[in-house]
Structure 1
Amino acid sequence: MLRKLVPGIVNTSVLISVGLEATAREVAVAMATHRVAAVLVMDGKRLKGIVTERDITCRVVAAGRNPAATRVDEIMTVDPHTLPPEATASTALDLMQTRGFRHLPIVDGERVVAMVSMRDLHRAMHEQLSRDLQDRDEYIHGENYGAA
C-alpha cells in the first residue's frame, strides 16, 4: 500500500502525551479518558518514549508494582522507533510486524506529528482492498460487459 502515513492514514489532531514525571496510574487514566492504547512520553517537545497498555499490564500490574508510585520513565519504551510523515503504510506495517509493536510515532524532524497504530493500518488496508474489489467488479461487469 503506497498511501502516505500523513495525511492519508492517521489523524494528526489527537496526540496524547505525558511528562517524564507522570505515574503509571496517570498514564492509565489518560488512556482510559482518551480511549487510546498508547501515550507519548515527552520532555518538553522532545519524544523520550512511549507507554502502551501492554507496558502497564506487564511492567506494572503483573510485576506487582504500585501504579501510583511507579514513574513512567521506569516502564516506558525509551527512544521508540519512528517514521517520517511521508513514509508509506506498507513501510510502517513491515516495521511494526518485524519489531513486534502496535504503535509507532510519526516524527517530522524533532516534532511528533502523529501516532499510527496497527488498527489504523488494518483499516486503511481494508478500505483499499474494498476499493480494489469494487474497481475490479466494475471493470468485469461494466456497461460493455458481453458486448462484441
Structure 2
Amino acid sequence: MLRKLVPEIVNTSVLISVAPDATARDAAVAMATHTIAAVLVMDGKRLVGIITERDITARVVAIGRDPANTRADEIMTPDPHTLSPEASANDALDLMQTRGFRHLPIVDGDRVVSMVSMRDLHRALHQQMVRTLRDHGGDDGTA
C-alpha cells in the first residue's frame, strides 16, 4: 500500500478546528455536529494541538470537570505528530500504531491540509485488497 495520503487516502475539503480558548464543550459539539472523533486546535493558522473523544472522556468527564469551563488548551494533546501529504499510508499506519493514536494531522509546510484517521487507513487498505483480488481473478490459493 504505497498510495500517498493526499489526495489518494484523505480529502482536504473540510478541517474542523477550535481555538485554544474554546471550551471542551465546544470541541465536543464540533465533533458531534460533524460526526468526527477529533478536532484540531488552531491558534490562527498554526496547529497547536488536537483533541479527541478520548481526551474529552479521560480529561474532562471521567474526572468530573465542567466541559463548559474547561479550555481546549487544558485538555488537548499539544504539538501533535504530523506527516506530509507526500507520506504513504504505510508511513501513517506505522506512526499511528507505534505511538498509539488514531488521528494524524497532515501538514504541508506550516499549513494543515487534512487529517487522516485509522478508519481512513483501514478503508484504503480494504479497497486495495479488493482491487488486488479483482486484478488477480479472485484466486484464493486453493486447489
TM-score, length-normalised on structure 1?
Answer: 0.92
Q: Distance in 1 between matches of 2:53 and 2:138?
A: 43
1:65-120 superposed Cα distances (whole Å, 9 cap, x missing partner): 00000000000000000000000000000000000000000000000000000000
Letter in 1 for 2:58: C
| Alpha-carbon distance, 1:47 to partner | 0.1
Q: Distance in 1 between matches of 2:47 and 2:127?
A: 31
Q: Distance in 1 between matches of 2:12 and 2:130?
A: 24
Instruction: Show the 5 A alignment for 1:123-142.
Output: 123-137=123-137
Instruction: Show the 5 A alignment for 1:1-148.
Output: 1-137=1-137
Q: Distance in 1 between matches of 2:127 and 2:75?
A: 35
- Structure 2 residue aligned with 1:146: none
| Alpha-carbon distance, 1:136 to partner | 1.1
Q: Distance in 2 between matches of 1:139 and 1:70?
A: 55
Larger C-alpha radius of gyration, 1 or 2?
1
Letter in 2 for 1:44: G
Q: Distance in 2 between matches of 1:35 and 1:87?
A: 26
| Alpha-carbon distance, 1:11 to partner | 1.1
RMSD of equivalent CA atoms = 1.2
Unaligned runs of 5+ in 2: none
Q: Distance in 2 between matches of 1:139 and 1:133?
A: 7
Unaligned runs of 5+ in 1: 141-148
Alignment: residue pair count: 140
Q: Distance in 2 between matches of 1:115 and 1:56?
A: 19
Task: Report runs of 4+ in structure 1 exceeding 3 Å deviation.
Answer: none
Letter in 1 for 2:48: K
Q: How many percent of aligned residue pairs carry the same amino acid?
A: 76
Q: Distance in 2 between matches of 1:73 and 1:126?
A: 36
Q: Distance in 1 between matches of 2:88 and 2:16?
A: 23
- 1:114 partner SS: strand
Letter in 1 for 2:61: V
